[in-house]
Structure 1
Amino acid sequence: MKTRKIYLALLLLAATMTTACEEWLKIEPEYEITDTDLYKNTAGYYKVINGLYRQMSDFSLYGKELSWGMTDVWARYYAIDPASDYKSYPQMYNLEYEAKEAASAASAAWSAGYKIIAQANDLIANTEKTGADFFTNEEVDRNTILGEAYAIRGMMHFDLLRLFGASLEVDADGRYIPYVETYPSTVNPPISNRDFMAKVIDDLEKARDLLKTLDVEVNPSYATSTAYRFFASTNPPQGKFYNNRGTRLNYYAVTVLLARACLWAQETGDALTYAQEIIDLVTAGTFKMDETSISTDPKIFLELLFGFYQDKLVDTYEPYINATNSRRLTIDDRTFFETPGSDQRAIFLNRNFMQKYSYNVSAEKDKVIPNIRISEAYYIAAECLYKTDMAAAAANLMVVRTARKYETPALSGDMTEDAFWEALTYEYRKEFIGEGQLIFFYKRTNRPIIFSEGSFDHKGKLSLPVPDSESAI
């Protein structure tokens, strides 16, 4: 094997949690390691996959900018002070992508994203050439590691396209960014949006098939039970690496991610199929959509399938909800969340600030940033159905509204298409605050951004410029 030095200041991590009170991931000291050493045993593979999640939770990606930071500023959740000393946010708010600070934030996301893809490709290559009998848990280990690596590669590419490419609604055949599948890789021309999304979906389908071994066939409770999905007090028989499936791209999270990707690719039939699988599990009682404790659980862990763990989240978020801080993220339209008064999602706000990351649910859970939740499956199904079966579309929206105690006035099959879109936009705005999803709803549908002053016609200009330097690829 050709030996390559890999610097692993962030990549080499150990899953050390044995109880809910212990750290989930611990950074090991920085040192150099060769490929041969890295992949010499199962523990090395565990460290690599853990390291990928840790890097994805960096503040340049899902730990901040692609959740409660840049992307939510972009969607105008916040009333941004033009004089803020954090200049990238006013620039993103006003679509000034070429400005220095906004361009720097975009470049950081680009670089971090493609580095993760490169490392995922290295992991995929090493895992695919290694037989199941090499691993401690044999096929369970191999399939889970390979499945999560494919899921990470697909998800990271997808979100880079959502940031830097046009939606298919605006430019289906445009070529914006490359899809990188080998490591090392030097020549990577952009490919068309359609071809790019075909590769995203293919990676996620491979991931789902591989993850079925653990999450559906061998040990389903650690992915389906809320008590086990996040910080269970006992480890599964396969070992502590398999605890906390909600902080990893498990089978069910990938199923919703596939529905999300297929909807972006305008493949509504497939999107509906994947979304309906999750809905059917709710109907069967495997999952729940009847949350009644948002006041004590604003992240709604009962319905959360996947989130990123960021151990410095609370400390990092705190300055942004300080009323005296020029970087504060004041909610743009507080009254929107308070109407109607029965909707429990008003609890997402604390005074004029978003509460999901400032309310201490527990020492560990408060460090989780939601990314994929069950309610999205209902929204996707509704959007796939409204043209052919408005009654079914309305019923799907009402499942979420009822769970949020917003039952009247009820939506029905008599809705016009305009009324449907108004209701669906309302749901996305409320449900996903602090999670970075709303801007991509506006981008995918090419609909105006709604905020306190009415609506903002972005004219399809919701794509960040590809950085001048593509050295990360």
Structure 2
Amino acid sequence: MKKLYIISLLVLCWVAAGCSDWLDVAPSNQVNEEELYSTGDGYRHALNGVYLDLGTSTLYGQNLSWGFLDLLAQYYSSSSLNRENVYYQALNYEFEDSDVKSTISSIWSRAYNNIANCNNLINQITDADPLLFAQGEFEKNMIHGEALALRAFIHFEILRMFAPAMIKDDHKAYMPYVDVYPTLVPEYETNEEILKKVITDLKEAKRMLAECDITEEHKVWMSVNLRMLGSNISTGDIAEDDVFFAYRGYRMNYYAITAMLARVYFWKGEYKLAYDEAKEVLDAVDNNGRKCFSFMPYAELGENLKDYNSIIMCFFNKTLQENYEPFIMKSSQNRFYLVGFEKGQNELDRRLTVLLGSEGTNNYSRKYDIPLGTDGTDMIPNLRLSEMYYIMGEYFAREDNFAEAGKMLDEVRFNRGIVTTDLKSSIATLDNYHTEMLNDMRKEFVGEGQLFYQYKRLDKKPVNKAIFVFDKPNNEDV
């Protein structure tokens, strides 16, 4: 890396409405650093600026969800893509193509820019006076913990793209873990070293958020209506008058951090530790003793296309449907028509019926074709309940407890409408489990950018020419 740009945090100007009110940021185009961190609201704006940027098309608003990563996972038909376009090149792993290189470069640099913003925020808030914040030490810990979690999250995502999976680990250094601000020459580190730091940050963030999200007073924040829709706020709750404390499902809440630990341990090959974190998410209950995270009844999935009941954490993009629509229009030169998603393929599986739209004989995902103003339209799912079941199932399979492994997959499949599922009786080997898990993940994670990483983790190429390790940008500027 030649240099790491020292960036002053420019807070995004964003006037949001409805469910994005918590993301409202400073009304000017630029705010200097001294002014930004002179008030508690400035710290909120700095944190929200990171969330907003992560939801843009360069990152989770497209490339790292339904765009670039799902092309690499072979979700889409090549026949519906312009051969001269970056999407066709990505689908065919033409990583030497200049547009593909540009896309990968923008992901790298934008990710590290957000890490720099997190580091600046962490640096500023560590010694900040709690009296600056409307809710004092409580709010200071919440913002600090979320910034730590975001720093770990982004580093882990870079690792999953730009370093080999653990199954192919060659103990070389592929990227830096940048945890100071400013920095000019960060040191590159190995998979193990990066993962150790990711876990350390996530554990500290989890400790800090435990004092915010899972106390008796605030357990209600994890209920689905308050977490995802900002509704049903109790009288007297601080979220009633201050929306910053609502919509915890759009943020690095306590259980999002727990689920991230499960994901990281899973990647690292620490399957029992991954199981323990995933089980904590499954067992989570709100203030009324109801499960915080549950599947939408399959008969009602057509009314809740993203099943936000089961979302642990999502990103936000106000123009998501507008950005997605051109890729499912017949008149477009690049159409994201799905491969292997035929209606009638399994009439019981609602993911192959109500979640599919059709254009002639071609099918596409309806997950992001939700009109503005409809619940869920701005949500980009990143962490789901189903992933926790897959993680727990693999732990059981690796312990040769194939009946329990099958039960984990059966739970997901039943809640998607496959009421006849009985994998607990038919899975007999770890390879068998992986086959069934990947088949189900392909339907569950369409449009979410997660399947590519599972192919990589298990070294199971979706096509022979698949490439799992991205090249760093030529100039390595971030």
TM-score by length of 1: 0.91
Distance in structure 1 (CA, Å) of the matches to 2:369 and 2:189: 41
Alpha-carbon deviations, 1:276-301, whole Å to 9, x = none? 11222379742323533111111001
Could you tell me which residue of structure 1 aligns to residue 238 of structure 2? 237
Alpha-carbon deviations, 1:245-291, whole Å to 9, x = none? 11111111111111011111111121011011122237974232353
Distance in structure 1 (CA, Å) of the matches to 2:285 and 2:74: 32
Alpha-carbon deviations, 1:306-353, whole Å to 9, x = none? 111101111111100012211111111222x64321011112211111
Alpha-carbon deviations, 1:393-432, whole Å to 9, x = none? 1111111111111132411255222321221011110100
Alpha-carbon deviations, 1:55-102, whole Å to 9, x = none? 101101001000000000010000024861662212221111121010
Could you tell me which residue of structure 2 aligns to residue 446 of structure 1? 459
Could you tell me which residue of structure 2 aligns to residue 272 of structure 1? 275
Distance in structure 2 (CA, Å) of the matches to 1:197 and 1:216: 26
Aligned pair partner of 1:467 in 457, 470, 473: 473
Do the aligned partners of residues 390 and 115 (structure 1) sit closer, same or farther apart at CA in structure 2, a change above 3 Å counting? same
Distance in structure 2 (CA, Å) of the matches to 1:350 and 1:365: 17
Could you tell me which residue of structure 2 aligns to residue 453 of structure 1? none
Could you tell me which residue of structure 2 aligns to residue 132 of structure 1? 130
Distance in structure 2 (CA, Å) of the matches to 1:231 and 1:241: 13
Could you tell me which residue of structure 1 aligns to residue 412 of structure 2? 400
Aligned pair partner of 1:433 in 446, 459, 466: 446
Structure 1: runs of 5 or more not aligned: 450-455
268-277 or 290-299, which moves further after superposition? Answer: 290-299
Distance in structure 2 (CA, Å) of the matches to 1:234 and 1:23: 16
Could you tell me which residue of structure 2 aligns to residue 255 of structure 1? 258
Aligned pair partner of 2:295 in 276, 285, 289: 289
Give yes or no for contact 2:314–2:383 (8 Å, CA) kept in 1.
Answer: yes
Give yes or no for contact 1:223–1:250 (8 Å, CA) kept in 2.
Answer: no
Could you tell me which residue of structure 2 aligns to residue 369 of structure 1? 380
Do the aligned partners of residues 285 and 398 (structure 1) sit closer, same or farther apart at CA in structure 2, a change above 3 Å counting? farther
Q: Give the number of aligned pairs.
A: 457
Distance in structure 2 (CA, Å) of the matches to 1:270 and 1:172: 23
Alpha-carbon deviations, 1:220-268, whole Å to 9, x = none? 3454211111232466415211111111111111111110111111111
Q: CA deviation at 1:361?
A: 8.0
Determine what percentage of the aligned residue pairs are the same residue.
30
Distance in structure 2 (CA, Å) of the matches to 1:214 and 1:165: 34
Could you tell me which residue of structure 2 aligns to residue 331 of structure 1? 338
| CA RMSD in angstroms, aligned pairs only | 2.3
Could you tell me which residue of structure 1 aligns to residue 169 of structure 2? 171
Distance in structure 1 (CA, Å) of the matches to 2:191 and 2:151: 17
Do the aligned partners of residues 189 and 82 (structure 1) sit closer, same or farther apart at CA in structure 2, a change above 3 Å counting? farther
Could you tell me which residue of structure 2 aligns to residue 359 of structure 1? 370
Distance in structure 2 (CA, Å) of the matches to 1:149 and 1:396: 32
Could you tell me which residue of structure 1 aligns to residue 437 of structure 2? 424
Give yes or no for contact 1:6–1:32 (8 Å, CA) kept in 2.
Answer: no
Do the aligned partners of residues 304 and 191 (structure 1) sit closer, same or farther apart at CA in structure 2, a change above 3 Å counting? same
Give yes or no for contact 1:223–1:252 (8 Å, CA) kept in 2.
Answer: no
Give yes or no for contact 1:291–1:302 (8 Å, CA) kept in 2.
Answer: no
Could you tell me which residue of structure 2 aligns to residue 381 of structure 1? 392
Distance in structure 2 (CA, Å) of the matches to 1:219 and 1:94: 52
Give yes or no for contact 1:81–1:326 (8 Å, CA) kept in 2.
Answer: no
Give yes or no for contact 2:25–2:45 (8 Å, CA) kept in 1.
Answer: no
Give yes or no for contact 1:117–1:153 (8 Å, CA) kept in 2.
Answer: yes
Do the aligned partners of residues 269 and 233 (structure 1) sit closer, same or farther apart at CA in structure 2, a change above 3 Å counting? closer
Do the aligned partners of residues 82 and 462 (structure 1) sit closer, same or farther apart at CA in structure 2, a change above 3 Å counting? farther
Do the aligned partners of residues 55 and 303 (structure 1) sit closer, same or farther apart at CA in structure 2, a change above 3 Å counting? same
Residue 224 in structure 1 maps to residue 231 in structure 2:
no
What letter matches 1:382 in structure 2? G
Distance in structure 2 (CA, Å) of the matches to 1:411 and 1:206: 38
Aligned pair partner of 2:351 in 334, 338, 345: 345
Give yes or no for contact 1:224–1:286 (8 Å, CA) kept in 2.
Answer: no
Give yes or no for contact 1:7–1:31 (8 Å, CA) kept in 2.
Answer: no
Distance in structure 2 (CA, Å) of the matches to 1:338 and 1:247: 34
SS of match in other structure, 1:308: strand
Give yes or no for contact 2:70–2:451 (8 Å, CA) kept in 1.
Answer: yes
Q: CA deviation at 1:9?
A: 5.3
Distance in structure 1 (CA, Å) of the matches to 2:11 and 2:38: 19
Residue 307 in structure 1 maps to residue 314 in structure 2:
yes
Could you tell me which residue of structure 1 aligns to residue 3 of structure 2? none
Q: CA deviation at 1:457?
A: 3.1
Give yes or no for contact 2:11–2:31 (8 Å, CA) kept in 1.
Answer: no
75-84 or 311-320, which moves further after superposition? Answer: 75-84
Alpha-carbon deviations, 1:445-470, whole Å to 9, x = none? 11131xxxxxx2356x3111000122
Distance in structure 2 (CA, Å) of the matches to 1:435 and 1:170: 24
SS of match in other structure, 1:356: coil
Could you tell me which residue of structure 2 aligns to residue 452 of structure 1? none
Could you tell me which residue of structure 2 aligns to residue 187 of structure 1? 185
Could you tell me which residue of structure 2 aligns to residue 119 of structure 1? 117
SS of match in other structure, 2:447: coil
Distance in structure 2 (CA, Å) of the matches to 1:253 and 1:79: 33
Distance in structure 1 (CA, Å) of the matches to 2:381 and 2:106: 21
Structure 2: runs of 5 or more not aligned: 1-5
Distance in structure 2 (CA, Å) of the matches to 1:5 and 1:295: 44
Do the aligned partners of residues 140 and 224 (structure 1) sit closer, same or farther apart at CA in structure 2, a change above 3 Å counting? same
SS of match in other structure, 2:339: coil
